[in-house]
């Protein structure tokens, strides 16, 4: 679509489709899609003290320690496929992570996908039926959404001040939402 360097953050409440849309946009822009949740799930499968702790925290829907998330992000963007750009969903998610991120890199754009609460809950309920993800239970979904509203949403103001935030309506089909996001990156 473009040869410009892209370092794009995708944020939004749980079930807004940030992981789904990160993959689609990454394919279009020719950069890797990084998912902090998936990177952490990978780390959890390796076990050991840290892996077991990550698995425990993810299952209860809390954030893993900021220093763990920061170190995973730092290491991932040093890999050769990410040096000329990336799309990451789910990072940073609070003030402390913003500080770590800002010391490491500068985003070219931040996409915030918005959906009503009921849409989040319905999509995650549907995923629980199909995939059985350990953190897609009613109580844990509620906790994850609370963290988004209390910690992540206020943090986004740092990017808003720089004029790089694009709010995208996440209601509709995957293709509808992808088209809205793609429209942001079509060069005139
Ligand atoms: P993470 O894996 O990032 O989960 P999340 O933030 O809870 O987000 P979800 O995956 O639930 O939703 P999404 O918006 O990505 O939507 P998706 O595309 O998947 O994080 C999991 C955990 O890891 C956290 O709770 C925390 O413990 C830890 N963690 C992650 N980041 C961290 C950080 N920075 N610091 C510390 N800890 C961290 O879609 C959801 C479902 O909806 C799918 O089934 C999908 O197929 C479907 N769907 C998507 N779009 C549509 C559509 N348009 N129409 C219908 N269905 C759709």
**Are 164 and 109 within 8 A, CB to CB?**
yes
Tell how far the Cα of 116 is from the centroid of ligand 1, in angstroms.
Answer: 15
Handedness of CA 138, 41, 62, 117 (dihedral sign): negative
Q: What is the percent of the chain where pLDDT is above 90? A: 94
Tokens of 38: 């998936």
Domains and CATH numbers, the chain: 6-181 (3.40.50.300)
**Are 111 and 9 within 8 A, CB to CB?**
yes
Tell how far the Cα of 114 is from the centroid of ligand 1, in angstroms.
Answer: 13
pLDDT at 187: 67
- Of ligand 1's listed atoms, the one at least distance from the Cα of 12 is 14
pLDDT at 2: 55
Beta strands in the chain (DSSP E): 6-11, 33-35, 85-89, 109-114, 165-169
pLDDT at 71: 97
pLDDT at 17: 98
d(CA 41, CA 69): 11
Pocket of ligand 1 (CB under 6 A): 12, 14-20, 36-37, 40, 57-58, 61-64, 69, 89-91, 93, 97, 123-124, 127, 135, 144, 172-174, 177
Of the CA atoms within 13 Å of residue 161, those in its CB half-sphere come to 5
| Region for residue 2 given its phi and psi (left: phi exceeds 0; alpha: psi -120 to 50; beta: otherwise) | beta
Q: Which residues of the chain have pLDDT under 50?
A: 188
Predicted TM-score (pTM) of the model is: 0.97
pLDDT at 181: 98
Tell how far the Cα of 8 is from the centroid of ligand 1, in angstroms.
Answer: 17
8: which strand partners?
A: 87, 109
């Amino acid at each position: 679509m473009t040869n410009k360097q892209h370092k794009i953050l995708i944020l939004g409440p749980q079930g807004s489709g940030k992981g789904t849309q990160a993959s689609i946009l990454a394919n279009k822009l020719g950069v890797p899609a990084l998912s902090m949740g998936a990177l952490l799930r990978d780390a959890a499968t390796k076990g050991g003290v840290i892996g077991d702790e990550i698995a425990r925290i993810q299952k209860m829907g809390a954030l893993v320690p900021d220093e763990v998330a920061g170190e995973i992000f730092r290491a991932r963007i040093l890999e050769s496929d990410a040096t000329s750009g990336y799309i990451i969903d789910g990072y940073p998610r609070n003030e402390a992570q913003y500080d770590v991120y800002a010391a490491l890199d500068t985003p070219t754009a931040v996409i915030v996908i918005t959906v009503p609460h009921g849409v989040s809950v319905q999509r995650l309920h549907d995923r629980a039926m199909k995939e059985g993800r350990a953190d897609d239970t009613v109580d844990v979904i509620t906790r994850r959404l609370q963290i988004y509203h209390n910690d992540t949403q206020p943090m986004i103001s740092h990017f808003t001040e720089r004029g790089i935030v694009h709010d995208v309506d996440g209601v509709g089909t995957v293709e509808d939402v992808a088209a809205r996001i793609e429209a942001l990156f079509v060069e005139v």
